[in-house]
Amino acid sequence: MRAFTFERAGSIGQAAVSAAKPGAKVIAGGTNLLDLMKLQVETPSQLIDINRLPLDKIEDTQVGGLRIGALVRNSDLAADQRVRVRYGVLSRALLAGASPQLRNKATTGGNLLQRTRCSYFYDITIPCNKRSPGSGCSALGGFNRMHAILGASDQCIATNPSDMAVALRVLDAEIETVDAAGNTRAIPIADFHRLPGQTPQIETALRPGEIITAVVLPPPPPGVQLYRKVRDRASYAFALVSVAAVVETVGGRIRSARLAFGGLAPKPWRVPGAEEHLVGSAATASSFDAAATTVLTNAAGHGGNDFKIPLARRTLHAALTAVTRT
């Protein structure tokens, strides 16, 4: 680990000012940042500890949603009774990720900022455009079993590893931030993560020094919620494919549908056309297949991950079957 100076932030404003300095990084749970610092993938010259800031509450909003403080730990969010009852897809997604020890540390804001687990990104001796722009992508033509089939570019085919973010995407969450000048804004989750394009090193819409203060959930959408995750072992593994679904079915017909996917793309993936296709359709295998075809229209494998295309189709089929069973 490279040497750094350590500063404990006394206020959110002070944290944002410090975080705007070159080389500075905010640390909350640290479960991904310290992992990357040990490998010198991340080499901050200063760490800003925000753990003692008052951002650890879950509050009801006036419109019937929830405001989740950026420092709420993943385990506490998953166990919150309001989340369990009204946002089950979020509780399930959180509980599907990492291990209990990590969830006790990992925060809501940090989870959104975690980096890809592409093994080439993690190895500083090997080219990677995300870690070292312009050096090349080793996953293209390399071992790319875990990699993206949607939304990737010729510069980077890494996936976003978060389960939580997939649930937030299906729930249309907003991410509240503050910057060094004290300006606040709310970023829709759809716009928060960036596709790699020609700049895979830029992963989010956050500007230098901008700090996540909260995640806001709108009132829960109608319907049955489900998070289905397919992985290499039964627990404590990243998704090959995951599906977050919120579907309302009346009399065997789908009234409303929301679908988000993990493990397939550089960001939590949603295809409005597939959701529109389901609305008004009978909850049958042929409807589910048509939705899967729409989701996977532009899917492209890279050799090792070709299997994800049929796996995504089958996982969506299973998820829709479960969520429309009444």
What string of DSSP letters covers 188-221? EHHHHBPP-TT-TT--BSPPTT-EEEEEEEPSPP
How far separated are the first and last CA of the chain, in Å rounded?
Answer: 53
Give whole-number Cα distances, 35 to 87, 160, 308, in Å.
Answer: 30, 17, 27
Identify the residue among 16, 30, 216, 245 touching other proteins (CB under 8 A). 30
Three-state DSSP class for 51? coil
Q: For the CA atoms of the chain, what is the radius of gyration? A: 20
Query: Which residues make beta-bridge pairs with 239?
Result: 231
Q: Which C-beta is closer to other proteins: that of 151 or that of 263?
A: 263
Q: Which stretch binds other proteins (CB under 8 A): 88-96, 129-137, 148-156, 305-313?
A: 88-96
Of 112, 116, 94, 117, the residue nearest 104 (C-alpha): 94
Element (H, E) at 142: none
* Binding track over 66-85 against other proteins, x by CB under 8 A: ---------x--xx-x--xx
Q: Which C-beta is closer to other proteins: that of 16 or that of 94?
A: 94
Query: Does residue 186 belong to the site contacting other proteins (CB under 8 A)?
Result: no
Minimum separation from the CB atom of position 241 to other proteins (A)? 16
Q: Which C-beta is closer to other proteins: that of 48 or that of 211?
A: 48
Minimum separation from the CB atom of position 249 to other proteins (A)? 20
Q: Which C-beta is closer to other proteins: that of 13 or that of 44?
A: 44
Of 145, 102, 138, the residue nearest 122 (C-alpha): 138
Helix 285-295 with 308-324: angle, nearest 10 deg: 140
Q: Which C-beta is closer to other proteins: that of 29 or that of 151?
A: 29
Query: Which residues in the 32-51 window bind other proteins by CB under 8 A?
Result: 34-35, 38, 47, 49, 51
Minimum separation from the CB atom of position 324 to other proteins (A)? 19
Query: Does residue 2 belong to the site contacting other proteins (CB under 8 A)?
Result: yes
Number of H helices, E strands in the chain: 13, 11
Q: What values do phi and psi take at 104, rounded to 5?
A: -70, -20
Q: Which stretch binds other proteins (CB under 8 A): 26-34, 149-157, 201-209, 248-256?
A: 26-34
Q: Which C-beta is closer to other proteins: that of 75 or that of 159?
A: 75
Query: Which residues in the 98-137 window bind other proteins by CB under 8 A?
Result: 98-102, 104-105
Q: Total number of residues binding other proteins (CB under 8 A)? A: 37
Element (H, E) at 310: helix 308-324
The residue ranges that bind other proteins (CB under 8 A) are 1-6, 27, 29-31, 34-35, 38, 47, 49, 51, 75, 78-79, 81, 84-85, 88, 91-92, 95-96, 98-102, 104-105, 234-236
